Amino acid sequence: MYDKSVKALDDLSFDVEEESIYALLGPNGAGKTTLIRILTTQLTPTKGTAYIFGLDVRKNPQQVRGMLGYVPQEVSLWTDLTGYENLLIYSKIYEIPKSERVKRIEEALDFMDLKDASRRLVKTYSGGMFRRLEIAAALMVRPKILILDEPTIGLDPIARNNVWERVISYKKEFGTTVLFATHYMDEADKYADMITIINKGKQVISGKPEDLKMIIGGDRVTLKVDNKEKVKAIIAENFGIDIIEENSDVLTFLVEKSQLVLPRILSALEAEKIEVKELRIREASLNDVFIKLMGKRIEEEEEGRMKELISKRKMIRMGG
């Protein structure tokens, strides 16, 4: 609660399974970063409790910090130093024993595929390399849980994949739990075992990506046919499917488990000698879920703030 009037988080509750990947989705101001700052002991909640591996974050902040690695949205590197020098500084901040520092640094560089670039100034790094170095710093503590706030912000698709390949590789080898906030729906869909959507500090819904997408009612199928009325009757009578849109000779409907049901629909049409001139399938996405629940695309909410944040990160990375 801010100024005793604004609730940044309100009746939010979820459990993250150990060794899983958990995503937080929500528009700007939803409360994702506030939640992460509470979990990383940067903020103290006015009410409620939060536990990391059974430890209360308010009562045991030092022990909690010793178990987690944290990568914020904001730039957390010194651009006029080399990658190795940045990690050396962080190894001292994290109070890693002097006898282990070199090993921990080299281990983190190896995992994030940065060893060859470790002696270069950070301001010469690409955006993807920069972000991987920030994650490498968090990995030096060998965290039980890795908390990432917009881990691939401002990166192109290839760089985003590289970041996640490294994170998942680390998770598999060390059994690390990963909690991340993102506005990239495809990223949450692809990598998260569980997702919580947050809006205005409240928990809208939680579940596995595939279960959340079932809210939409299935994949969106569009058929272009001649005998539209007969097709509508066949689909309704044999499969219990209603048309959601129709225009001229085009019909659109939703199909659950389309990979199983759609071949049967096409066979039924073929048996009636109905030619399908065009077929389009769009799988249900988390964006569809967000639109259904929130009334708009998450990109519409995030666009302005993200552009500003990406611009700032790029300027700092380039030494500006």
**Domain segments of the chain: what residues?**
21-212, 218-283
Give yes or no for residue 2 having a pLDDT over 50.
no
Q: How many CA atoms lie within 13 A of 282 on its CB side?
A: 10
Residue 97 in this model has a pLDDT that exceeds 70: yes
Looking at the predicted structure, is the pLDDT value of residue 224 above 50?
yes
Which of helix, strand or coil describes residue 199? strand
Whether 265 shows a pLDDT value over 90: the answer reads yes
Do 21-212 and 218-283 share a fold?
no
Per-range mean pLDDT, top range of 24-33, 183-192, 284-293: 183-192
Q: Are 167 and 159 in contact (CB under 8 A)?
A: no
What pLDDT was estimated at residue 5? 58
The mean predicted confidence, pLDDT, of the chain is 89
Position 231 pLDDT exceeds 80: yes
Is a pLDDT exceeding 50 seen at residue 131? yes
Q: What is the 3-state secondary structure (H, E, C) of 25-52?
A: ECCCCCCHHHHHHHHCCCCCCCCCCCEE
Residue 315 has pLDDT above 70, yes or no: no
**Higher-scoring residue by pLDDT: 28, 218:** 218
Q: Strand, helix or coil at 311?
A: helix
Per-residue pLDDT, 10: 81
Q: What is the mean pLDDT of residues 101-112?
A: 96
Sequence-ordered strand ranges (E) for 67-176: 68-71, 145-149
The pLDDT tens digits of the residues spanning 208-220 come to 999 999 888 889 9
Helix axis angle, 298-317 to 286-294, nearest 10° = 120
Please give the pLDDT value at position 309. Answer: 53
Q: Which CATH number fits domain 21-212: 1.10.730.10, 3.40.50.300, 3.90.79.10, 3.20.20.70?
A: 3.40.50.300
Residue 285 in this model has a pLDDT that exceeds 60: yes
Sequence-ordered list of residues with C-beta below 8 angstroms from that of 302, at least 6 positions apart, any chain: 27, 28, 183
What is the third-level CATH fold of 218-283? Alpha-Beta Plaits (3.30.70)
Segment 292-314 mean pLDDT: 59
Burial class (CB in 10 A: 0-12, 13-18, 19+), 197: buried
Mean pLDDT over residues 128-145, rounded? 96
